[in-house]
Amino acid sequence: MSTKQSTKRNAKVSSKKSARKSTKKSTRVSTRKTKAAAAPKSARAPKRTAAKAATKAMPVASASEFMAHAYAMEAEAAERYAEFADSMEMHNNHEVAELFRKLSRIEQRHADQILEQMGWKQSPVSSADYRWEGTEGPETADPTELHYLMQPYHALQIALHNEKRARDFFAHLAKVATNGGVRKGALEMREEEAEHVRLIEEWLKRTPVPGSNWETDQDPPVLSD
């Protein structure tokens, strides 16, 4: 790998990039347990290679399986936002920490609603056994998109990107579903995610756009000229 791009602190946050570099949507899911011996196959490939890696993934077969996946998606997203909030808190970026905490609560509420709706005490499938077409669920934020100096605008861009992915995921699932219950559930979820997209777009309109030097650190971690 060439390292010519290296050293300079070019850690542009995500949010700028994330809209452009949208992760290929995951359209199929599988709860297949990966056998230890087949680990090279089990390693999930992100983005461009995702389609190939998922050739064995099965479309969701029943309404309850669909809801279990929807639950896993929301729970995974909630967990990731909570991790982001902790990380931001640790780096004294309290404003963004609070925003991620709020996003985490919203996702967790959705996850809890699914459990309630299905009358489950907990998800019938352990989260470690989920396999998405990409490396993670279609609503899970990418950790490399964070920056310690990021602003609420960036965090909301990340959230918007994820809500759009989730909406597109359910739209596709509704299109390919062979089971009526799955189609109905997917259409409902698509509408919900579309509503979230609208809400975040509104939220973004009320949020100040960061200046061009938002990532300037007077005491940078890297030696510079």
Partner 1 sequence: MNSTVAAAPITAQAFKSDYKPIWCPGCGDYSVLSSFTKAFAKLDLRPESVAVVSGIGCSSRIPAYTNCYGFHGVHGRSLAAASGLKLARPDLTVVVASGDGDGYSIGGNHFLHACRRNVDLTYVVMDNHVYGMTKGQPSPTTEPDWDSKLSPGGTGLRTFNPLVIALAAGANFVARAFSGDPNGTADIIADAIRTPGFSFVEILSPCVTFRPEQREWKQLVRPGPVTTTDDAARAARRIMTDDGFNIGVLYKGQRKPYQPPVGKGKKRPSDLEAEFAI
Q: Which residues bind partner 1 (CB under 8 A)?
A: 1-7, 9-11, 31, 34, 36-49, 53, 62, 64-65, 68, 83-84, 86-91, 93, 118-122, 124-132, 135-136, 142-148, 150, 221-224
Closest by alpha carbon to 161, among 204, 110, 197?
197
Are the C-beta atoms of residues 15 and 155 closer than 8 Å to each other?
Answer: yes
Are the C-beta atoms of residues 163 and 197 closer than 8 Å to each other?
Answer: yes
| Least distance CB 134 / partner 1 (angstroms) | 9
The three-state DSSP-derived secondary structure of 135-171 is CCCCCCCCHHHCCCCCCHHHHHHHHHHHHHHHHHHHH
Q: Which is nearer to partner 1, 37 or 209 (CB)?
A: 37
How many residues are given for the chain? 225
| Least distance CB 66 / partner 1 (angstroms) | 10
Q: Which is nearer to partner 1, 5 or 218 (CB)?
A: 5
d(CA 32, CA 100): 31
Closest by alpha carbon to 149, among 88, 70, 69, 78?
88
d(CA 29, CA 189): 16
Q: Which is nearer to partner 1, 9 or 94 (CB)?
A: 9
d(CA 18, CA 106): 21
| Least distance CB 130 / partner 1 (angstroms) | 7
| Least distance CB 182 / partner 1 (angstroms) | 12
Q: Which is nearer to partner 1, 37 or 205 (CB)?
A: 37
Q: Which is nearer to partner 1, 132 or 170 (CB)?
A: 132
| Least distance CB 137 / partner 1 (angstroms) | 9
| Least distance CB 106 / partner 1 (angstroms) | 20
Q: Which is nearer to partner 1, 40 or 211 (CB)?
A: 40
* Cross-strand pairs, 29: 132
